[in-house]
Amino acid sequence: MVKLVNFKWQQLILSLSCLLLIIACQSLYPATNPDAKPLKVATDPTFVPFEFQTADGKLKGFDIDLMNALASPAASIAKVAGFAVQFESLPFDGMISTLQAKRVDAAISGITITAERLKTIAFSRPYFKAGLAIAVREDNQNIKDFNSLKGKKIAVQIGSTGADFAKTIPNAKISTFNSGPEFFQDLLNGNVDAVISDAFATLYAIKNGKFKGIRVVADLLTEEYYGIATPKDSPHLDAINKGIAALLSNGTYKQIYQKWFDAEPPQLPDS
């Protein structure tokens, strides 16, 4: 009888210490542990080579590699960033408002950091140096700069910096498109005189895609930087910035850049 009572006490002590251990573990790794909840990242995969979909539906591209590297322990920043990424495809035009409404945690989509956008959302430090370029049909010799675009028919992607730029051209007739490749087709078909779009994406589409017969006017119209966008006051922005810094200094950024552009990456500003 006495033995049995002793046994019960031991059991109680054992259960209590287990409970204490669990509580201690939970405070070390709280429920907000980013590992527990994947970071929802929006992207518009119609923008080669930054984000696009393969025939079997896989997401690929420079931005996709960068985002995955930010989350990977192999980049040795897991302790800093330490999140799993869950991509969500979204039309580019809806990206800013989706971030504003906090329906996603972040967006990576070749999004240019602009003063206008900074009014409603936040951006990471710049991760890519870009700029707008004019694309024309190969045989077109008369469009060569901003001035020669006056009064011309121009195609752009809705909600893009290219669309904003086109609005500044006097008397231009602007057609808008929802996704990347469509406007190149329109240019080839002769429906518009020029496309205003991101230079790297345009050059890549010409080099690797079916858009033979298009060329890019050499001089860029703007200098832009892409950033990873988040809602304002995002709890993840600091980790994302530290992650980018780590990828820049440990060589991973360079590796990804060379994989997609076969060139040395340019110097990026810190902010």
Q: Which is nearer to ligand ARG, 98 or 112 (CB)?
A: 112
Q: State both tokens at 244.
A: 């980018």
- Percent of the chain that is helix, strand, coil (3-state, to 5): 40, 20, 40
Q: Which of 104, 106, 112, 252 binds ligand ARG (CB under 6 A)?
A: 112
Report whether 205 contacts 211 (CB < 8 A): yes
Number of residues that bind ligand ARG (CB under 6 A): 14
The span from the CA of 243 to the CA of 220, in Å, is 30
Q: State both tokens at 204.
A: 């890549």
For residue 10, the SS3 value is helix
Strand order in the sheet with 59-60: 46-47, 51-53, 59-60
**Interface stretch with ligand ARG, choices 8-16, 18-26, 78-86, 157-165 (CB under 6 A):** 157-165
Q: Which is nearer to ligand ARG, 88 or 138 (CB)?
A: 88
124 binds ligand ARG (CB under 6 A): no
User: Which secondary-structure segment (H or E) carries 25?
Assistant: helix 2-28
Q: Which of 180, 227, 231, 243 binds ligand ARG (CB under 6 A)?
A: 180
Q: Is the dihedral of CA 223, 228, 232, 237 positive or negative?
A: negative
- Least distance (Å) between residue 18 CB and ligand ARG: 50
- Least distance (Å) between residue 180 CB and ligand ARG: 6
Contacting ligand ARG within 63-102 (CB under 6 A): 92
The span from the CA of 53 to the CA of 61, in Å, is 9
- Least distance (Å) between residue 113 CB and ligand ARG: 8
Q: Which is nearer to ligand ARG, 77 or 226 (CB)?
A: 226
Contacting ligand ARG within 198-257 (CB under 6 A): 198
Site residues, ligand ARG (CB under 6 A): 44, 46-47, 51, 92, 109-112, 157, 160-161, 180, 198
